[in-house]
Structure formats: structure tokens, C-alpha cells
């Protein structure tokens, strides 16, 4: 019996979410008194794989076929399931990001395993196997029991943190038949979004709402984001109005993010908005209305006009 984690890479590099996943899985394996294996798919340099040892991995299985450098969720799920069976894993852990969300349900079906998504903590108990997760847009916590022998978990970002370890990593090629019939999508061209921080991965997010009054007023938001190396985001009405693209919309019906710093400018803080940002480590709100609900969830609040406060923040950060 063991625990396996699938660590996704991006063009051969791991991100913090992969390190957090390895940290979580190591802690889980320790609690179960078992060993853990990390699976990597696609070409990743040995030095990069060895970085996983800093977070507790001592064994990495890799499937380094270049055909797998681009994510194909069906083929990846097939390999994750086969690797889990090969090492006799009882718990299969993935990150709760786009790839994890696409792969985990397929792995769960293949292994006839119960799945709980967006878990935030180590299991509450092991017999029975019970995990805790947020429900009802973050308004409550639910305890979910998995009754199947095998269990699939996806781990919410920024909830667990990073372990400090210095494990020597044994890297082993996992020999598996790659089922090319599962490559249902062929990527013909990839366009890199240069100079743009991707919202779902961003450590810092500058977000704005209807308080900006018009799409022409977004320059102060973009300038602050640029100075901070942040991604930009917005409330739903802003994207519904077409002031900003839908890819920036956060909340219950948009992206759920967990940056280290979330700056909310001219956003009221409706419950549906907060559902998408409440896991941020630090929330700073700027609003003219001292009674705005966003101040109820903010760590720091500035009562003031966005058109006055945002440029002053930008100037202060630029000079710091
Ligand atoms: P408003 O509510 O209009 O708030 C604007 C704020 O700006 C106010 O607090 C005001 O005091 C302040 N303000 C005005 N002028 C200034 C100024 N010059 N300087 C500083 N502050 C100023 N919303 C989401 O965001 N994401 C979702 O995913 C989402 N999903 C939803 C799902 C459902 C089923 C429903 C019913 C609603 C959903 N909503 C969602 C909408 C949500 O209920 C709110 O209507 C929305 O979040 C409000 O957006 P806002 O804060 O930008 O605008």
C-alpha cells in the first residue's frame, strides 16, 4: 500500500502548486505510515525532478515520452491509473487546477475510486476515510467519507503550504504502453501570452469592479498590476458588461483563486464574488463605502476613491 501524487509540469518546470501537492502527499503518507511515489509525465530534466526532494519526495516515476509533453487528459489519466495500480497506491493525489480537474474524475472511474475535489487539509480520519472541504460557496465545511478501497483527492491551492525536506530522489522510468488512441485532441499551434500573468497561477491579483464606472478607467488597475507583477481580475458584472474579458471574472460562477495578495478595487464584496477569492492569504479592499461587505472579509481596508487610491499605491510600490 502506498500513496501516489501526480506532479504536473509546465514546459518541463514545476510550479509551487506541484511542490505543495508533494508536501501534502508526504504528510499524508507519514500519517498513513506508508511510502509515497511521485509521478511525472512528459520530458522533465533530472535537476528539476530532484527539486521534488526538497518537499519530501524520495521516489519519482517518470514517463518521459515527448508525445506526452502536452497535456492530453485521457492519456494522462490512463497513465496515472496504471502507475497507481503498479505501485499498489491506495490514495491518488492531484492538484485542484485545470489539469487535475480534467484527469482526476477519469482516474477515479478507471480505478473505481471515490473522489473528493478541492480538499484543504489532511484527512480528518482514516478509518473511516473522511476529508474536510468547503461547501456552499465557502459558507460551510463538509466532512466527506470515501468508502471505496481506492481514493482520489484533488488538493486546493495555497491551503497546505510547503514542507521543508532534503530527500535524495530516486528517479525511475515507468515503462507503460501509451495508448495513442486516447490522444483525441491535437494541438496545432500554441500561442504564448507574453507579458501577461496568468490569473489562476498568480501570487498577486489586482481586481476591479463596477466602482471603476467605465472600461476606459482601467489604466490605474493595469498600472498597479504591472508594478506588482500581478494578474488582473474583475467582478462578474464587469465581464458581463464586456468591460473586461470573461477569463478575468472571479467568483462563484467564475474562477476560484487563492493568491497571496488580492486587491479588490471598487468591488462591493457580494457573497458570490467572495466565494471565488476567500482563500486568498491577504485581501486589501478599496471602496468609497465604509459599510461595503468587502471590508468584512478584507485584512486591510482603504476607504477612498479608486481613481485616487490606485495611482497612489502604484507610485508608492514603484518607489519602494
Ligand atoms: P457593485 O455591487 O455595483 O459594487 C460596486 C462597489 O464599488 C460598491 O461597493 C461601491 O461602493 C464601490 N464604488 C463605487 N464607486 C467607487 C469609487 N469611485 N471608488 C471606490 N469604490 C467605489 N459576482 C461576481 O463578482 N462573481 C461571480 O462569480 C458572481 N456569480 C453570481 C452568481 C449568481 C447566481 C448571482 C445571482 C450573482 C453573481 N454575482 C457574481 C453577482 C454578485 O451578486 C454582485 O452583483 C457582483 O459581485 C457585484 O459586482 P461589483 O462589486 O463589481 O459591483
Question: Can you tell me the distance from the alpha carbon of 116 to that of 112, in angstroms, rounded to the nearest whole number?
Answer: 13
- Residue stretches of the annotated binding site for FAD: 210, 235-236, 266-273, 287
**CA atoms within 13 Å, Cβ hemisphere of 302:** 17
* Spatial CA neighbour of 270 closest among 237, 230, 239, 243: 237
Please count the other Cβ atoms lying within 10 Å of the Cβ belonging to residue 291. 9
Residues with CB under 6 A from ligand 1: 209-211, 235-238, 251-254, 266-268, 270, 272-273, 276, 286-289, 292, 305-306
Assign 158 a pLDDT band (cuts: 50, 70, 90): confident
**Atom 9 of ligand 1, residue of closest alpha carbon:** 268
Question: Can you tell me the distance from the alpha carbon of 256 to that of 251, in angstroms, rounded to the nearest whole number?
Answer: 6
- Ligand 1 midpoint to CA 237 (Å): 7
Q: Which residue of 252, 292, 306, 310 sits with most ligand 1 atoms within 8 Å of its CB, as the best mutation to test the pocket?
A: 252
Q: What is the pLDDT of residue 190?
A: 75
Strand-strand pairing, 89-95 and 2-6: parallel
Strand intervals (E) in the chain: 2-6, 35-41, 59-63, 89-95, 114-119, 129-135, 140-146, 151-155, 170-173, 204-208, 231-234, 261-265, 282-287, 300-303
pTM of the entire structure? Answer: 0.82
The region of weakest confidence among 91-95, 123-127, 191-195, 282-286 is 191-195
Q: What is the pLDDT of residues 53-110, one digit of tens each?
A: 999 999 999 999 999 998 899 999 999 999 999 999 999 999 998 899 999 999 999 9
**Atom 29 of ligand 1, residue of closest alpha carbon:** 272
Q: What is the pLDDT of residue 159?
A: 84
**Atom 33 of ligand 1, residue of closest alpha carbon:** 272
Q: What is the pLDDT of residue 157?
A: 85
Question: Can you tell me the distance from the alpha carbon of 167 to that of 177, in angstroms, rounded to the nearest whole number?
Answer: 30
* 8 A C-beta contact, residue 152 and residue 114: yes
**Atom 28 of ligand 1, residue of closest alpha carbon:** 251
Q: Give Cα 110 to chain centroid, integer Å.
A: 24
Assign 251 a pLDDT band (cuts: 50, 70, 90): very high
**Atom 38 of ligand 1, residue of closest alpha carbon:** 272
- For residue 269, is pLDDT > 90? yes
- Ligand 1 midpoint to CA 132 (Å): 29
- Ligand 1 midpoint to CA 277 (Å): 13
Q: What is the pLDDT of residues 170-223, one digit of tens each?
A: 999 999 998 888 888 777 887 777 677 889 889 999 999 999 999 999 999 999
**Atom 27 of ligand 1, residue of closest alpha carbon:** 251
Q: What is the pLDDT of residue 183?
A: 87
Strand intervals (E) in 147-299: 151-155, 170-173, 204-208, 231-234, 261-265, 282-287
- Residue stretches of the annotated binding site: 210, 235-236, 266-273, 287
Residues near 113 by Cβ (< 8 Å), separated by ≥ 6?
A: 92, 107, 146, 148, 149, 150, 151, 152
Amino acid at each position: 500500500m502506498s500513496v501516489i501524487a501526480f506532479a504536473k509540469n509546465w514546459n518541463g518546470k514545476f510550479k509551487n502548486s506541484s511542490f505543495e501537492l508533494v508536501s501534502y502527499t508526504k504528510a499524508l503518507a507519514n500519517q498513513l505510515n506508508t511510502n509515497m511515489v511521485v509521478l511525472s509525465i512528459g520530458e522533465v530534466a533530472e535537476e528539476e525532478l530532484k527539486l521534488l526532494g526538497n518537499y519530501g519526495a524520495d521516489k519519482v516515476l517518470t514517463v518521459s515520452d515527448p508525445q506526452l509533453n502536452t497535456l492530453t487528459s485521457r492519456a494522462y489519466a490512463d497513465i496515472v491509473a496504471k502507475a497507481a495500480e503498479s505501485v499498489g497506491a491506495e490514495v491518488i493525489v492531484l492538484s485542484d487546477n485545470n489539469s487535475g480537474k480534467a484527469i482526476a474524475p477519469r482516474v477515479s472511474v478507471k480505478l473505481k475510486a471515490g473522489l473528493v475535489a478541492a480538499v484543504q487539509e489532511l484527512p480528518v480520519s482514516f478509518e473511516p476515510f473522511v476529508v474536510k472541504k468547503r461547501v456552499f460557496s465557502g459558507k460551510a465545511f463538509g466532512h466527506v467519507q470515501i468508502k471505496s478501497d481506492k481514493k482520489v483527492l484533488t488538493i486546493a491551492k495555497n491551503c497546505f503550504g510547503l514542507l521543508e525536506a532534503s530527500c535524495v530522489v530516486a528517479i525511475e522510468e515507468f515503462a507503460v504502453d501509451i495508448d495513442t488512441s486516447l490522444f483525441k485532441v491535437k494541438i496545432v499551434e500554441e500561442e504564448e501570452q507574453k507579458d501577461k500573468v496568468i490569473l489562476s497561477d498568480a501570487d498577486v491579483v489586482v481586481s476591479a469592479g463596477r466602482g471603476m464606472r467605465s472600461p476606459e478607467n482601467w489604466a490605474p488597475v493595469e498600472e498597479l498590476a504591472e508594478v506588482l507583477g500581478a494578474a488582473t481580475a474583475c467582478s462578474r458584472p464587469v465581464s458581463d458588461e464586456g468591460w473586461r474579458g470573461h477569463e478575468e471574472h472571479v467568483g462563484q460562477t467564475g474562477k476560484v483563486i487563492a493568491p497571496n495578495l488580492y486587491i479588490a478595487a471598487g468591488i462591493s464584496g457580494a457573497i458570490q464574488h467572495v466565494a471565488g477569492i476567500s482563500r486568498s492569504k491577504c485581501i486589501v479592499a478599496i471602496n468609497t463605502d465604509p459599510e461595503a461587505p468587502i471590508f468584512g472579509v478584507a485584512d486591510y481596508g482603504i476607504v477612498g476613491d479608486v481613481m485616487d487610491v490606485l495611482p497612489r499605491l502604484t507610485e508608492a510600490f514603484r518607489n519602494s
